[in-house]
Amino acid sequence: MKTHSANFCPLRRKTLRATGALALGAVLAATASTTSWAQPAAPSAKVMRLIVPYAPGGPIDVTARLLADSVKATLGTVIIENRPGAGGNIGVDAIAKAAPDGLTIGIAAVATHAINPWLYSKMPYDAASDFAAITQMVRVPNVLVMNADTARRLNINHLADLIKYAKANPARLNYASGGNGSAGHLAGELFKSRAGIFALHIPYNGGNPAQLALLSGQVDFNFDNLATASSNIKAGKLKALAVTTAQRSAFLPDVPAVAETLKGFEIDTWWGLVAPAATPRDVVAKLNQAFVAALKAPENKVRFSTLMAEPVASSPEQFEAFMKSERAKYEKVVKASGARVD
């Protein structure tokens, strides 16, 4: 396998982890211990499959199970089927090739439908044409964090200070991510491009090792998932400089958005629901109505907030347009990063 990096770092031969997966599985695995939260169907009822292209216990899996439970009154039993592997490509390919009868749907994530098409040299499905969008489910902010001691030593209190320091000290800063092509890596590349700075990218084998490297002072800053970083931000070990969503996050209202300094900057983790492309439009409309109602349910908003995830209910047309725009954005970012999986 040949790999390249815009930061001149060697890439390891490995299957990249899904960027949409957050590091909360250990906390939430207990809530995902059953195959599905939906009640058993009547003998004559047809059972719907919801394919999650990631392992059980993570936030994507947990939110899928929450919704499966919420729609059982209108759609009947929804069984969660986990099919992890190849950065989510294996499970998503199963969705694409399922019968378009409304009985198989699944998760589309930022990795599977925006990043992987440009990251992998060979894709088993076409993210643009093999799916019928149902609705976006959630979005989760990422946050630019520094080691608190490093920030104090370098007198960096705001995002503008970091940019100023990087310009005055070329090649002095570095940042970590959970791997080449990960959300943290691509957020860092977009930030460097927009800010006109250089920082050496150091890829780690997952988000947890990358965060440990930041906490120990081995690296200067990370673009981490807000849910993962929040406890260390509150403890004063990490200094949050900016969130990567277009606006400030309700979960961290005192921290500005990167876009307040670098206009137009927006990058976050998201996922939603799709069906095979040939699924009838009236069936898609019925699925949309049921899942949008579940996303808007007050109890689910509270549950999602424990993941620092904001529910995003949308029409099929809105979600399709959103995924298209995300693919266009990440095409440029992935190609600029040089990350590639052959």
Q: Would you state the structure tokens that stand for residue 42, as one six-digit string? A: 């009547």
Residue in the structure block whose two tokens are 């309700």: 250
pTM: 0.79
Residue 284 has pLDDT above 90, yes or no: yes
Mean pLDDT of the chain: 87
**pLDDT tens readout for residues 165-203:** 999 998 899 999 988 888 899 999 999 999 999 999 999
Q: What is the pLDDT of residue 178?
A: 87
pLDDT tens-digit readout, 10-54: 333 333 343 444 334 433 433 343 334 333 333 335 899 999 999
Cα 49 from Cα 13, distance rounded (Å): 33
pLDDT tens readout for residues 246-268: 889 988 999 999 999 999 999 88
User: Residue range 149-154: average pLDDT?
Assistant: 96
Beta strand residue intervals within the chain, DSSP E? 48-52, 78-82, 104-109, 131-147, 174-177, 200-203, 221-225, 238-243, 268-276, 310-311
Give the mean pLDDT of 147-156: 96
CB-neighbour burial class of residue 248 (10 A; exposed 0-12, middle 13-18, buried 19+):
middle
Write the burial class of residue 278 (CB in 10 Å: 0-12 exposed, 13-18 middle, 19+ buried). exposed
